[in-house]
């Protein structure tokens, strides 16, 4: 594995599939023109609207999202992760699915979000993801690659559950994807610090694509797509507008941090 550039894309997705895919294509193109070889799209990249709309259109969203990821990966000759789009499972429910595609258009890894966001926030917003989303039952996979190292998948709310990332680091993860649509209310206090904690605990890079701005009604996302190094240092921050955070993923940096702080070797409890 050699050093390479990774990109965490930041979008303002809305309840319009075609508009979102056009926005995603423009941002992927921007990332590639800056040298990115591994690119991540945020949770709900292809559709962010009312739950009833999402379920009604889920089959078409899933079909177009998957084809889009394969087409873009092949066109730009990159590894491309789409972090969270609905895939129907019957009975009016979907899996919140993250998909990693290789430069030849083949599927490298698939993960169905385990931890579902059911929260009443003080800002008046209520989120009940479990009403329409079925929780995945399998731990997220590691994609082992000579080009990009060992990549681990997760989605948004998962970041609050450190045991999931410890599982991935025990499987040899070098970089961890956390595509998200973090709420504006929780994001301002928790988003960056949680990602830094997961990076430090597991001495891994964190690649965290994000949603930002107003999507519909009162639904606002925090933004700040981030790439964080294994010491917890923020290497790139996309701020509050749609754009791209790009940084180098350096295997020597991973080795250096793990030599300086060999905490993974000192685990007492599995």
pLDDT digits (tens, 9 = 90+) for 219-229: 999 999 999 99
CB atoms within 10 A of CB 131: 13
Q: Which pLDDT value is given to residue 124?
A: 75
- Give pLDDT tens digits for 21-80: 999 999 999 999 999 999 999 999 999 999 999 999 999 999 999 999 999 999 999 999
Q: Would you call 43 a catalytic residue per the annotation?
A: yes
Phi/psi at 38 (nearest 5 deg)?
-125, 120
Q: Which pLDDT value is given to residue 199?
A: 98
Domain ranges in the chain are 4-266
Q: Which pLDDT value is given to residue 217?
A: 87
Share of the chain above pLDDT 90, in %: 92
Output the average pLDDT for the chain: 96
Task: Choose the catalytic residue: 37, 43, 143, 204.
Answer: 43
CA distance 10 to 24: 9
Question: What is the mean pLDDT of the segment spanning 167-195?
Answer: 97
DSSP for 51-67, please give it.
HHHHHHTHHHHHHHHHH
Task: For residue 199, give every residue at least 6 positions away whose Cβ sits within 8 Å of its Cβ, in sequence order, or none.
Answer: 176, 205, 206, 228, 229, 230, 231, 232
Q: Which pLDDT value is given to residue 166?
A: 96
What's the CATH number of domain 4-266, 3.40.50.170, 3.40.50.410, 3.60.110.10, 1.10.645.10?
3.60.110.10
The secondary structure of residue 130, as a DSSP letter, is: G
Question: What is the mean pLDDT of the segment spanning 185-209?
Answer: 97
Strands 175-177 and 205-208: parallel
Q: Which two tokens stand for residue 64?
A: 């177009």
CA distance 127 to 77: 37
Query: Three-state DSSP class for 12?
Result: coil
Range in 3-7, 124-128, 162-166, 196-200 with the lowest mean pLDDT: 124-128
Q: Would you call 107 a catalytic residue per the annotation?
A: no
Task: Choose the catalytic residue: 37, 134, 143, 156.
Answer: 156
CB atoms within 10 A of CB 39: 28
Task: Choose the catalytic residue: 54, 70, 113, 134.
Answer: 113
- Give pLDDT tens digits for 111-135: 999 999 999 888 878 889 999 999 9
Range in 123-127, 197-201, 212-216 with the lowest mean pLDDT: 123-127
Q: Which two tokens stand for residue 183?
A: 């709420």
CA distance 203 to 253: 10
Strands 226-228 and 205-208: antiparallel
Q: Which two tokens stand for residue 107?
A: 């599927």
Residue located via tokens 């290789």 = 102
Predicted confidence band of residue 252 (pLDDT cuts 50, 70, 90): very high
Q: Which two tokens stand for residue 165?
A: 């990332």
């Amino acid at each position: 594995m050699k050093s390479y550039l990774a990109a965490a894309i930041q979008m303002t997705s809305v309840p319009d599939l075609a508009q979102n895919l056009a926005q995603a294509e423009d941002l992927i193109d921007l990332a590639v023109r800056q040298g990115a070889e591994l690119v991540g799209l945020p949770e709900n990249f292809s559709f962010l609207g009312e739950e009833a709309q999402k379920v009604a259109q889920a089959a078409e969203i899933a079909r177009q999202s998957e084809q889009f990821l394969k087409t873009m990966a092949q066109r730009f000759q990159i590894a491309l992760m789409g972090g969270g789009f609905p895939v129907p499972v019957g009975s009016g429910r979907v899996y919140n699915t993250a998909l990693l595609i290789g430069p030849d258009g083949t599927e490298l890894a698939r993960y169905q979000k385990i931890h579902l966001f059911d929260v009443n926030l003080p800002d008046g917003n209520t989120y009940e993801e479990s009403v329409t989303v079925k929780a995945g039952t399998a731990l997220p996979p590691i994609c082992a690659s000579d080009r990009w190292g060992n990549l681990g998948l997760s989605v948004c709310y998962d970041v609050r559950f450190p045991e999931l990332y410890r599982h991935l680091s025990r499987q040899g993860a070098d970089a961890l994807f956390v595509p998200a649509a973090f709420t504006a209310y929780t994001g301002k206090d928790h988003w960056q610090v949680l990602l830094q904690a997961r990076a430090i605990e597991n001495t891994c890079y964190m690649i965290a694509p994000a949603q930002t701005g107003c999507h519909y009604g009162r639904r606002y996302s925090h933004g700040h797509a981030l790439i964080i190094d294994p010491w917890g240092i923020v290497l790139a921050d996309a701020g509050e507008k749609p754009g791209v955070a790009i940084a180098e993923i350096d295997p020597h940096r991973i080795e250096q941090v793990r030599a300086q702080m060999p905490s993974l070797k000192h685990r007492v409890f599995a």
